[in-house]
């Protein structure tokens, strides 16, 4: 997964959005027929998109841990737990999408909502923690000192709005991991 820290911003953007565009194309082209195939393609592409994004978050967190200054300590175990929760939740939701035939549900029951809503909120909290963790790690690594919230607030928003933020964050990550802009394989 360390290669995700060394690829260019446009390559990461492409890795993230090919699944999205594929899912949109298949869904739009087969929408009129109500084809179950498009539903499965959508679920598979969603899983691929989430897998790449969460892999990037994981690679960034673990890679930056080695570059943090000695005065900054961040709990990588808490990060891994926070990333596992949304990963497992989204995987279970997508697995359920694969198993449910199109139009087979009659709506969610109250007991299903009682389980889904807290899991969804916990998953969102995990994602926000992962974004916070990476933003703080990135800024502390760049500045090589302990940082306060105001120092990395901008990075939180940049990573949160990652489709646009990739163009700003990934070149900084490349610089931290010593990627040469003259390497023809990465241009």
Helix, strand, or coil (residue 181): coil
- In this predicted structure, what is the pLDDT of residue 186? 45
Domain assignment present for residue 184? The answer is no
Domain assignment present for residue 25? The answer is yes
| 136-183 per-position pLDDT tens digit | 999 999 999 999 999 999 999 998 887 778 888 888 988 988 766 554
- The answer to whether residues 58 and 127 touch, using CB atoms and an 8 Å cutoff, is no
Domain assignment present for residue 44? The answer is yes
Domain assignment present for residue 91? The answer is yes
- The domain total for the chain is 1
d(CA 109, CA 51): 29
Domain assignment present for residue 181? The answer is no
d(CA 91, CA 163): 21
Domain assignment present for residue 187? The answer is no
* Residues of the chain falling short of pLDDT 50: 102-103, 183-187
Domain assignment present for residue 85? The answer is yes
Residues 6+ apart with CB under 8 A from 55: 1, 4
Single pTM value for the model? 0.82
Domain assignment present for residue 157? The answer is yes
Structural domain including 62 reads 2-100+107-176
Rounded to 5 degrees, φ, ψ at 153 are -60, -40
3-state SS record for 25-44: HHHHHHCCCCCHHHHHHHHH
């Amino acid at each position: 997964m360390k290669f995700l820290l060394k690829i260019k911003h446009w390559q990461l953007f492409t890795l993230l959005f090919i699944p999205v565009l594929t899912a949109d194309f298949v869904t739009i082209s087969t929408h009129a027929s109500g084809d179950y195939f498009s539903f499965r393609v959508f679920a598979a592409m969603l899983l691929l998109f989430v897998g790449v994004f969460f892999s990037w978050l994981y690679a960034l967190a673990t890679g930056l841990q080695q570059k943090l200054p000695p005065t900054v300590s961040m709990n990588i175990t808490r990060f891994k737990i926070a990333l596992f929760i949304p990963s497992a939740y989204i995987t279970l939701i997508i697995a359920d999408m694969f198993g449910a035939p199109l139009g087979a549900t009659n709506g969610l029951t109250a007991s299903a909502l009682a389980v889904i809503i807290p899991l969804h909120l916990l998953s969102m909290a995990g994602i926000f923690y992962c974004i916070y963790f990476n933003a703080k790690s990135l800024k502390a690594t760049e500045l090589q000192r302990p940082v306060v919230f105001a120092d990395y607030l901008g990075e939180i928003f940049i990573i949160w709005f990652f489709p646009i933020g990739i163009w700003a964050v990934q070149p900084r990550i490349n610089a931290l991991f010593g990627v040469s802009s003259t390497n023809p394989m990465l241009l």
